[in-house]
Amino acid sequence: MDSGTRDELLGRLAEAVGSVTTAHPTRVAIDGPPAAGKTTLADELAVVLRAHGREVIRASIEDYLFPQSQRYRRGVYSGEGCYNDSFDYDALHRILLDPLGPGGNRRFQLAVYDRRTDTTTFQPVTTAPADAVLVFEGVFLLRSELIERWDLRIFVSAAFEETLDRARTRDRAMYGSVVEVERRFRNRYIPAQQLYFETARPTHHADIIVYNNKPQQPAWAARTF
pLDDT in tens, the chain (225 residues): 898 899 999 999 999 999 999 999 999 999 999 999 999 999 999 999 999 999 999 999 999 999 999 999 999 999 999 999 999 999 999 999 999 999 999 999 999 999 999 999 988 999 999 999 999 999 999 999 999 999 999 999 999 999 999 999 999 999 999 999 999 999 999 999 999 999 999 999 999 999 999 999 999 999 754
Given this model, what pLDDT does residue 224 score? 57
Kindly give, in sequence order, each residue whose CB lies less than 8 Å from that of residue 72, ignoring residues fewer than 6 positions away.
Answer: 78, 81, 85
Q: What span, in angstroms and rounded, lies between the C-alpha atoms of 202 and 59? A: 20
Domain ranges in the chain are 2-217
Phi and psi for 87 in degrees, rounded to 5?
A: -125, 145
Q: Which fold has domain 2-217?
A: Rossmann fold (3.40.50)
Phi and psi for 118 in degrees, rounded to 5?
A: 55, 45
